[in-house]
Each structure stands twice: as C-alpha cells, then as structure tokens.
Amino acid sequence: MQNLQKLYEITSDSALSYSQKMVALLQLGVDYFQLELGIISHIEGELYTVSYAISPANDLLSGTTFNLGDTYCVHTLATNQALSFYHAGQSHIAQHPCYLNLGLESYIGAPIVVEGKRFGTINFSASAPRNQPFSTEELSFIELLSHWVGNEIARHEKLTLLKEQQKLMARQQDILEQMGQVAGVGAWELDLTDGKLYWSSVMKDIHEVEQDFIPDLVNGLNFYKEGENQTRITECVRRLMAHGGNFSGEFEIITQKGTPKWAAVKGKAELDEGKCVRLVGAFQDITEQVNSREQLEHRHKELSLALEARSLFLANMSHEIRTPINGVLGMLQILESSSLDTEQTRFLGLAKDSATSLLGIINDILDFTKIDSGKLALETVPIDLNQVLDNCVDIFNPRAKEKSIQLVKQLENTQGASIITDPTRLRQICANLLSNALKFTHQGQVSITTNLTLQKKGMATLTIAVKDTGVGLTQEQQALLFSPFNQADVSTTRKFGGTGLGLSITRKLCQLMSGDVSVKSVLNKGSVFSAQIEVGIMAKSAHSAEPEMAVSQTKDLSNLHVLVVEDNEINQVVIGEMLKQRQITYDIVNDGLEALAILEVEKSSMNPYTLILMDCQMPNMDGYQTTQHIRQLSSNVASIPIIALTANALSEEREKCFASGMNEYLSKPVDQANLYTMLEKFI
C-alpha cells in the first residue's frame, strides 16, 4: 500500500516534469525490488534504445542502444507479460548474451504498451542473484509500473502533439496576421453558437478602433454607411445565416473616427448537419483602388469626349478646307475645257498642281487620323494585280519626265496574278512609295519590282520594292523615318514639302494588311523601300478578264432635272457649270428649308425633279435633316434619289448619309468625271 501511495504521489505531482517522473518511477522500482539497475526502453524492430535509466555509477546513458536479442527483454516481449529471473547463471538462460556479457544474475521486467501498441519495456536487474524467486506481488507491481509508465508516455505524447499543434497554429496565426498587415487584409469570424464576433488586428486598424475594442454583430454592421450599403451587407449576412453559401462585394464604411472608406468584403457560411454555425470572411481596405478607378473612369469619359471633339473638329476642318478646294478645283476643271493659249494652259496646270498638292496634304492628315483611331475599314475584292499597279505607276510618268528620271516597271513576277485585297489601299501604298522616291531623286531612275510568295492555302505575301538613286539616308534618319510627322531632316519640309505622314501611313496600312514596310539605304547612293502585305490568291479561271474599272461610255444626261441644295456660292457655280456641260437642267437653293419649299411647289409640276444633289452641312437645316423630311413627303417626291455632297471625308460620314435616307455619296472636291458617272446611274 505504501508503494502505491508513492506511485500516486509521483504521477500526480504537477511540479515534476515528464523526464523527472520517469526517473522517479525507476527509482521507486529500484528501491522496491532492491536491485541496482532500472531501465525504461523503447524498442523498434531489433533495436533496443535506453530512454531513461538508473545505474550505480550513472554510466548507462539515455540513448544507448543494444541489439534486442542481447537483452533479457527479448524474452519479456515474447511472453508479452511480466517476466523474472532470480539466478540466471543456474537457469536455462545461463548462455544468454546478456548474462555472458554483463553478468546480470537477477532480472524482472514487463512490456510497456501505449494506446494498444508496444512501446518497449520497464525492467530492473542486478549482478547479484536473489535468495529466492520474485513473488507474485512483485510481478504484479512491475506490471502496475508498466501500466503507469505507459499512461504517462501516452499523456506526454498527446501533450507534446497538442503543444506542437498550438505552436503551429500560433505560428500560422502570426503569419496570417503579418500577411494581413502587409496586404491590408483583415479577417473576421462570427460564432453563431455564442454570438461572439472576432476581428483581427487589421480589421480593427481599418475601422480605426482600439485593439481592445470588442466587436459584436450590431456594432459591426453599424460601421457600414447608412442606406444602401448597410441594407446590402445586412441582407448578405442574413442570407448566409439562413441558407449558407458565400458572398462578396464592395461596401462603403464610416470608421470610428468618421473617415469614409471603401472595403472589399467576403463571407462564407460553415454548416454543421445542415445548420449554419459560423460565418468567416475577409475584409480589405480598397479606398485607394476605388478612388483610382473613379479617376480612371472620369479620365476615360474626358478622353471619350476629347476623341468625340477631335472627330467633330476633323469633320469641321475637312468641311471648311475641302469646300474652298472644291471651288478651286471645280473652277479649274471647268476652265480647262475652255479655249486657252499656251501660257494660260501652263498657269492653269500650276494652279491645279498646287490645289491637288493641298488636297493631298489634307488627305494625309485625315487618313492618318482614321487609321490611328481604328476607323479605317479594308475592302476585300478580286483584282488583276499588275493592271492596278500599271495604272498607279503610269500616273507618275509625267512627274518623272519633268525631272528627267527614268521610271521602270519590273512586274514580270506577278504577271497574270489575280489577288483579293483592298485596291484603294494597295494603290495608296504604291503611290506613297513612288511619290517619296521621285521627290528625293534628282537624277538616275526609280524602279518598282513585285513578287508573290505563297503562304498557307489561299494566301500569299505580296512584296512591292521601290528602288531609287536619290539622296539616301543615314542610320539615324532611317530610325525616325516611319514615325508620324517626322521627315529625314528638319529642312526636308522646307525644301520638298509634305506632312511627314506618307511613310507613317504606308506602314500603318501595311500592318493593317498583316505586313510591314522596311528600308535599306546608303547616303548619297539611294534607297530601297520594301512593302509587304498579305493577300488572297484566286484561281486564274475565277478572274475576270475585264479591266478593273470599266470605262463608262458617254451617255445622254439632258433628260435629268436636278435640284442642287448647296449653301456655298462658289460650289453653286462649280456644280452648275459641270451640269451645264452635259446639258442638264437644274435649280439651286441655299439650304434645306428652301429645298423643302421648292419641292412642295414643284410636286405637281409637269417637269418634276429627277435627282437631288444635297450638301450635308448647311445653315438653318442641314442635309441629313432635309433628307429625312423629304422621305416623309408625298410618294412621288419622297422617292427622288438623293446624292450627298460632303466635304467630310471620315468613314462614318458615309454611314450617316445612308442612315438619313440618301442614296449615294460624293466626297468634295467633286471630280467632274466621278459626278457624271454617278449621275448616269439614275438615268
């Protein structure tokens, strides 16, 4: 009974550490059995390790290992119960390695079991034999000791695991807290069993409360701005509590210090047997992001308004510049058909060249703007490649002849090639390269070479190379050559003219057509510009042998009766003279209101109008509004074909004209031949 009391005192003493308890239990056994050596071992396979020991000179250290077969414990484990020898030298184990090597005469031991699994043994021994065998009481005590030691080991392992888990959780919590501090993300948890709400330190920082602030569901929701934000978060929490699931959203809060903030809030329900028991979530201050987003949205609106204003400005500029140019070129075309002497003809040619040059500058600026804003649409039509290029090159023959420069066509590689592309933009690329080459070449020649390289099925790469013997370029000049508004030298504009947009437009057109343009040049020796675009390939049988643009035969237009709606006096004269030359009868009015008035009078006339030429931008009532009103008049007037005359060259102008009810579209300055071709459609 006394030993049991000591056993209880040792195991229940909270002041003793686990190791101290193990040593105290061994000491209790040594004293009880009157033996000199006590061991608690841990056995794994055939390895016997001393966990704790008491020895006469303390020479048996923890961690010492033996082969299990060299210890008496091998027999203890074999019997799986308490085992003892009181005089080993006179027993059947007299030849055991433990007796032969260590001379242990007396031994008593028992297996240690921890939660149903073998751990090792507790054993006591001495080099002297006992006078008599170990008693039943002693065997019972060693088994009791083994049970108590096993329980202490199990308890220690669980406490150790719990402490490790607590340390891990504390470390993870600390990491999460630090991550939250760095990222500005707080965490919250609402336990619905006790109604307690937990806020991380970041949550408290965001809400500008003290760290000892105790949140609850009511005061937590009250931080949300009254009105829509508070109503919305309350509904989100209520829905989670009732149905589970999750939510996320952006909410405005008012901190304890009265600071308005925006927060990204996420929440998730945790269920137990279908019932919501906990809500957990994250909370992040996104005030800066929201403010930045609002600034970007505001800036986007400003940019949209600026782009709209730019488009309107370009449209107005196009109209204001093209209108007088229309008058100049129109009058020059009319004058050209009159009787002129040689000097007058020369002067007229100079005037036409100047007007055409001015128109080219305007077209460059408008083309660049359309490409830059992504509003340039490409056509895809079948063409005879060499026919288009021949016509384009031939236009430059007079200029080459004036400068005594030989203009050479080397189009043999593409002879008979039928391709699918945008012929207008193909001409523009070719014309820009030729114009540039002729501008900077003072003697020698300019040549154009073409080549087709088949790619994937039905597609090919068209290369147009223009070589000149002109002034050439330095490496520095080549680096800036394709940038908008840049020319090779600051004096280039003064000496040669131009906008510095031609090559930039050429590159953008090539890129729109899945290609690019490059240059190789040597100063004072010449340059080679190579443009590449992707084109479709047609079978020869599918290509029409007819010319790309049929030459229209002259038709009698004298049966037309045209109403011209135009506010500019010069353009009135130009259009009138052009109509006169084809014996077309016409009337001219100054704006849309006058047009509606004359149409009202003329609707019962014996000679009604067969066509209307409608300017788009006019005072009082513009061409779009006038057209819409005409289409609502009586049927014989409402169906009169209307051709738009507009100085706005932007692509959306065409759609706007058709949307208002117009039938066709002519851009100013109106070319005389184009006007007649358009009128012939309505005979």
pLDDT at residue 602 greater than cutoff 50: yes
How high is the pLDDT of residue 554?
72
Average pLDDT over residues 5-10: 85
Average pLDDT over residues 276-283: 90
Which residue did the predictor score with more confidence, 593 or 365? 593
pLDDT at residue 542 greater than cutoff 60: no
Q: Compute how many other C-beta atoms are within 10 angstroms of the C-beta atom of residue 235.
A: 11
- CA-to-CA separations, 578 to 320, 582, 584, 586, in angstroms, rounded: 22, 7, 9, 11
| pTM, entire model | 0.42
**What confidence tier does 515 reach under pLDDT thresholds 50, 70, 90?**
very high
Residue 450, SS3? Answer: strand
Which amino acid, residue 115?
Answer: E
Average pLDDT over residues 99-127: 93
Weakest mean pLDDT among 50-54, 59-63, 568-572: 568-572
How far apart (Å, rounded) are the C-alpha atoms in residues 121 and 143? 10
DSSP letter at 650? S
pLDDT at residue 540 greater than cutoff 60: no
The closest of 251, 499, 257 to 365, measured between CA atoms, is 499
Average pLDDT over residues 623-647: 89
How far apart (Å, rounded) are the C-alpha atoms in residues 257 and 209? 8
pLDDT at residue 314 greater than cutoff 80: no
How high is the pLDDT of residue 544?
38
Which amino acid, residue 320?
Answer: E
Percentage of residues in the chain having pLDDT higher than 70? 86
Report yes or no: 469 and 562 within 8 Å, Cβ to Cβ: no
Which residue did the predictor score with more confidence, 331 or 58? 58
**What confidence tier does 127 reach under pLDDT thresholds 50, 70, 90?**
very high
**What confidence tier does 456 reach under pLDDT thresholds 50, 70, 90?**
confident
Question: For the chain, how big is the Rg over CA atoms in Å?
Answer: 51
**What confidence tier does 475 reach under pLDDT thresholds 50, 70, 90?**
confident
Average pLDDT over residues 57-74: 92
How high is the pLDDT of residue 1?
58
- CA-to-CA separations, 109 to 11, 126, 143, 145, in angstroms, rounded: 20, 12, 8, 10
How high is the pLDDT of residue 487?
52
How far apart (Å, rounded) are the C-alpha atoms in residues 293 and 68? 74
How high is the pLDDT of residue 255?
95
Which residue did the predictor score with more confidence, 256 or 377? 256
Identify the bridge partners of residue 191 per DSSP, sorted by sequence position.
Answer: 196, 278
Weakest mean pLDDT among 130-134, 218-222, 360-364, 502-506: 360-364
Tally of CA atoms within 13 A in the half-sphere of 1 that contains its CB? 0
Which residue did the predictor score with more confidence, 441 or 182? 441
* 3-class secondary structure per residue, 187-233: EEEEECCCCEEEECHHHHHHCCCCCCCCCCHHHHHHCECCCHHHHHH
Average pLDDT over residues 220-239: 94
How high is the pLDDT of residue 550?
36
Read off the pLDDT of residues 338-365 as tens digits, 9 standing for 90 and up. 788 888 887 777 677 667 656 666 666 6
**What confidence tier does 493 reach under pLDDT thresholds 50, 70, 90?**
very low
The closest of 278, 261, 190 to 224, measured between CA atoms, is 261
- Rounded to the nearest integer, the mean pLDDT of the chain is 85
How high is the pLDDT of residue 496?
44
Report yes or no: 634 and 601 within 8 Å, Cβ to Cβ: no
pLDDT at residue 283 greater than cutoff 80: yes
Q: Compute how many other C-beta atoms are within 10 angstroms of the C-beta atom of residue 2.
A: 7
pLDDT at residue 457 greater than cutoff 70: yes
Weakest mean pLDDT among 77-91, 161-175, 404-418, 466-480: 161-175
How high is the pLDDT of residue 398?
86
pLDDT at residue 177 greater than cutoff 70: no
Average pLDDT over residues 624-633: 92
Average pLDDT over residues 552-560: 78
DSSP 63-99: T-EEEGGGSTHHHHHHHTS-EEES-GGGSTTTT-HHH
How high is the pLDDT of residue 291?
92
Percentage of residues in the chain having pLDDT higher than 90? 48
Read off the pLDDT of residues 393-435 as tens digits, 9 standing for 90 and up. 888 888 899 899 999 999 999 998 999 998 888 988 998 899 8
How far apart (Å, rounded) are the C-alpha atoms in residues 510 and 430? 11
